[in-house]
């Protein structure tokens, strides 16, 4: 696989209003400015050989001991990695002092930028009171209050929250909940899930079983459970019709339908019309199975609304969130469920327990819970969703302008995501690596999904910086397509 690393994404640490004021104050920016001495930290302009030696030593140490994700040993030993030593707002700073505008929010997670002062303060304040406590028979203020606040902003009807560690685990919890529910409510034949082609739901074995992005998981095939999956189609209409047919055909076996609402992320930023989720909700109701929404990427405003489900005004039976849940500050995730599902875990008629058989050491971790609460407070008090609308319009207008350029396929945008395809090579395409290098040369950190070039910046990125990112995105596309 020529291009198999999905990427990271940082954001600005100021609120939208402050970011807009900063953009108005700032002089006009052009991509070339990122290559000028001004793009270096002041202390780096006279970078000494000692700093070069330190950077080389860090790379050597990494190559000797670190086993990085989605990277072959040969590539790890030969490629020249970025060595990032600090970050602030939407900017990454390397050991040489050069700044990179992070256009993908560090694997889609840093939705409020790096080191937002309120999140730093929430983390340190919580650490001064309580660092960690097990979840068995214990609650604590941060996690109890977070659960209540999360339910208030969730789609109506989701009332219960199970906390975990990351997006993959949140999905794993959801499919375990669905499976166990049916096993202990007199419908034990319901063991199978419908998942989409080009789906990606995480790397743990249950989540990997749902994946349709075969480049990631084909080697693990013998370990994965079977999934009901519609064949690849030329339109979303055809996809949904096939899912409806399969759901009716396998109704007595179906534990749930799993979907990334509005956008399939790692599958190439494939965007769905709102009617897709509405029809999946309708067929799940028809056959009485669960609709499971993987909002790890799409939740917390990435699509322009708080949840991808809000684009369709649909409430799923189970919803998974991570990444923006803590704005990339701490690893934490949540799986939300309805009362119907929660009540299916009450004691059996004979009195035997039917508790959910899942739990991790760091369930409801106090540090993560405190940060997640502050993220919600920032959304309320800094009008994050309102700020997204302005930025989403800029992204959509710019992407529309790319449509029709020679070599550019399927220019598309939704919320804080813009994407184009530079070829039909998928994860094995040759244009993606050229795009990455061209963006990097312009001081932009933009790692494509194979031949799908995309950007999804922090939600509160300054308007001047967003324009800079969009301009550099276009220039990198032109260079990549020129070969």
What is the set of active-site residues?
70, 200, 294, 323
Closest C-alpha among 122, 28, 152 to residue 368: 122
Helix, strand or coil for residue 409?
A: strand
The DSSP bridge pattern shows strands 158-164 and 318-321 to be unpaired
Angle between helices 117-129 and 366-381 (to 10 degrees): 150
The answer to whether the CB of 302 falls within 8 A of the CB of 263 is: yes
Q: CB of 240 within 8 A of CB of 234?
A: no
Buried b / exposed e across 266-294, counting CB within 10 Å, b at 16+? bbbbbbbebebbebbbebbeeeebbbbbb
Give the closest residue to 334 by CA, choosing from 299, 291, 310, 382. Answer: 299
Contacts for 33 with CB less than 8 Å, ≥ 6 apart: 39
* CB-CB contact of 431 with 251 (8 Å): no
3-class SS letters over 450-480: CCEEEECCCCCCCHHHHHHHHHHHHHHHHHH
CA angle 52, 53, 58 (to 5 degrees): 100
């Amino acid at each position: 696989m020529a291009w198999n690393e999905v990427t990271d994404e940082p954001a600005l640490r100021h609120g939208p209003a402050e970011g807009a004021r900063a953009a108005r104050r700032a002089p006009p920016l052009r991509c070339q400015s990122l290559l000028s001495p001004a793009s270096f930290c002041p202390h780096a302009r006279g970078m000494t050989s000692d700093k070069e030696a330190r950077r080389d030593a860090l790379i050597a140490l990494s190559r000797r001991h670190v086993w990085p994700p989605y990277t072959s040993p040969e590539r790890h030993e030969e490629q020249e990695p970025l060595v990032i030593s600090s970050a602030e707002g939407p900017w990454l700073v390397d050991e040489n002092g050069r700044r990179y505008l992070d256009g993908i929010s560090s694997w889609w997670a840093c939705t409020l930028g790096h080191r937002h002062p309120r999140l730093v303060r929430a983390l340190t304040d919580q650490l001064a009171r309580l660092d960690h406590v097990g979840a068995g028979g214990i609650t604590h203020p941060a996690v109890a209050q977070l659960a209540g606040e999360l339910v208030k902003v969730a789609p109506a009807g989701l009332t219960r929250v199970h906390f975990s560690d990351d997006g993959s685990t949140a999905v794993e919890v959801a499919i375990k909940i669905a499976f166990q529910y049916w096993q202990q409510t007199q419908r034990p034949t319901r063991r199978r899930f419908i998942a989409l082609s080009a789906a990606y739901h995480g790397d743990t074995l249950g989540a990997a079983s749902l994946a349709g992005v075969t480049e990631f998981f084909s080697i693990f095939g013998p370990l994965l459970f079977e999934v009901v999956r519609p064949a690849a189609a030329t339109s979303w209409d055809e996809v949904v019709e096939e899912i409806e047919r399969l759901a009716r055909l396998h109704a007595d076996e179906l534990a749930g339908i799993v979907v990334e609402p509005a956008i399939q992320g790692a599958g190439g930023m494939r965007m769905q019309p709102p009617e897709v989720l509405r029809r999946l909700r309708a067929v799940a109701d028809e056959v009485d199975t669960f609709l499971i929404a993987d909002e790890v990427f799409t939740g917390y405003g990435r699509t322009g609304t708080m949840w991808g489900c809000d684009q369709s005004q649909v409430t799923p039976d189970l919803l998974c969130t991570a990444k923006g849940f803590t704005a990339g500050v701490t690893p934490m995730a949540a799986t939300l469920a309805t009362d119907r599902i929660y009540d299916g875990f009450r004691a059996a008629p004979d009195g035997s327990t039917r508790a959910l058989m899942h739990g991790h050491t760091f369930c409801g971790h106090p540090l993560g819970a405190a940060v997640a609460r502050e993220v919600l407070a920032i959304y309320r008090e800094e009008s994050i969703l309102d700020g997204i609308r302005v930025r989403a319009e800029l992204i959509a207008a710019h992407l529309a302008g790319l449509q029709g350029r020679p070599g550019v396929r399927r220019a598309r945008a939704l919320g804080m995501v813009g994407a184009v395809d530079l070829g039909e090579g998928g994860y094995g395409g040759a244009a993606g690596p050229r795009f990455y290098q061209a963006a990097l040369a312009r001081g932009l950190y933009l790692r494509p999904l194979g031949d799908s070039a995309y950007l999804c910046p922090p939600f509160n990125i300054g308007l001047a910086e967003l324009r800079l990112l969009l301009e550099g995105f276009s220039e990198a596309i032109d260079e990549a397509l020129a070969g």
